[in-house]
Amino acid sequence: MFARPLSILTTVTLVLGAVSLQLPLASPILSLSHSWSDSEFFTPLESLSYVQESQFSVLKHPFFPRHSVRIKKSSFCDPTVNGYTGYIDIEARHLFFYFFESRNDPDRDDVIFWTNGGPGCSSSLGLFMELGPCRVLDDDGPKFHPESWNTNANIFFIDQPIGVGFSYAEYGETVSTTEEAAKDIAAFVSIFFENFHKFKGRAFHMAGESYGGRYLPVFASAIYDQNALLVKAGVTPINLKSIMIGNGMTDWETMIPSYYDMACTPASVTPTLDISTCVAMKNIIPRCQKMVRESCIDQFDAIGCGAASNFCSGMLSAPFRESGTNPYDISVPCNGSVATTLCYPVTAVISNFLSTKSTRKKLGVDTVVSANFSSCNHDVGAAFSGMLDVVHSSKLYVAGLLERGVKVLIYVGSYDWICNWVGNERWTLALEWSGQEEFRSQKLREWTVGGVKAGVTRSAKNGLFTFATVDGAGHMVPYDKPKEALTMVQRWLAGEAL
């Protein structure tokens, strides 16, 4: 990497004292021999009220000398709350984010971090299409969204890793594994909470969908492990309470065989593929599982695992993809194409909105970013694919979080094919942790919203680990079922059973 040196000096609105700590990015905090107080090293910005719309404020942290955060007020979405945008700067790499205060009580409500998946897709889709305080569904621009998840929570949306959305690298640097991406997220979270004192100790939840099932367990684990080092140094740790994964690709090994169940059995809808194709798929599953187990799981052989991945994907997912059915909602045909609009033309509307100069000026997007916004960066996806990142399961990270008291919610729209409920239920039941027996013994029960069935659920250890389906929803649950999704999140944050 070509490094651009950062010094902890005076910034737009923040002065930091000189710090002698120099810590490598590979480990956010190494062994620290002494503790420190807030006043010993720097004066935090403390209040978001000091952040201006006309210029960026810069946030830094003595434990992360290679990282800083730029943040500005941005009025473009929901006039009822304060909104902010900015960049996480890691020397010559820059991750873009949005932040919205809660509509209810921003000084007391929990904080949610949201990321979309891909890998390579912008969280602007989550913001403007699914769960944000405004939606961009037509050419008239943002409109107030009543079922936004900031109804009772402060919320981040982040474009990660580098190259996604408005995020960029000055010298072509890339991130191609989830573990690499986790380092930057853990640093950003610490910098934000340490600078704005009203959020210190506030309950923090990490949420996302799709490839977020791979991301979030690793991101949350990085934050949890970092906390132990912060505590040793006398720094307030992040109050990590839970992760919420929607239609996640958490365990590829169990997801791949489930493509047969979704396309060839009435797991959600009438079978979509012809009988002969389904017979061929069923017969190939044992061979696929054997190849994956031998080359990807029991030992990792990059060549053998790559061959297993290509073989299984070709035999078990290609037939459905060629059928023309929407892989994100098997109840309808694809509207457009997966490559151009993800089968949802509204994604093109969002891209057009974010490509305009006026929008970018309000957001504070750096001028070096390409004029045409792209919802998903296929080069980022290809880089992760080249590293076979998806075959590295995140389920053991989930188990590790559960054993340390971090709650985990796995929710799945019943109509999704690509990260479906069958595969997600299988890995949750097979997960080895101290509550496995209790979790497996629980029968699925209905959960309701307004007296109407919303899906089925099971949980263990007083809701520490919860699996839930959302009836009639596809891959993007908050888009298809906004009322049910918001109710689910509100109950989760309140510690209530679904």
**Helix residue ranges, H only, 18-166:** 38-41, 124-125
Quote the pLDDT of residue 42: 53
Q: Which residues of the chain have pLDDT under 50?
A: 1-41
Report the SS3 class of residue 29: coil
Give the single-character DSSP code of 230. Answer: H
Q: Which of 194, 191, 201 is nearest to 39 (CA)?
A: 194
Report the SS3 class of residue 96: strand
Q: What is the pLDDT of residues 145-202, one digit of tens each?
A: 999 999 999 999 999 998 999 999 998 888 899 999 999 899 889 888 888 878 889 9
Cα 483 from chain centre: 21
What's the pTM?
0.89
Q: Which of 188, 115, 111 is nearest to 150 (CA)?
A: 111
User: Is residue 204 within 8 Å of 111, Cβ to Cβ?
Assistant: yes
Question: What value, to the nearest 5°, has the Cα angle with vertex 102 and ends 74 and 353?
Answer: 40
List Cα–Cα distances, 186 to 78, 81, 189, in angstroms.
28, 26, 5
Place of tokens 């006026």: 358
Active site residues: 210, 416, 475
Quote the pLDDT of residue 303: 95
Quote the pLDDT of residue 4: 30
Quote the pLDDT of residue 147: 97
Single-letter amino acid, residue 6: L
Quote the pLDDT of residue 43: 59
Q: What is the pLDDT of residues 443-455, one digit of tens each?
A: 999 999 999 999 9
For residue 304, with 0-12 CB atoms within 10 Å meaning exposed, 13-18 middle and 19 or more buried, which class applies?
A: middle
d(CA 296, CA 191): 36
Peptide bond before residue 44 is cis, with ω within 30 degrees of 0: no
Domains in the chain with CATH codes: 48-251+388-494 (3.40.50.1820)
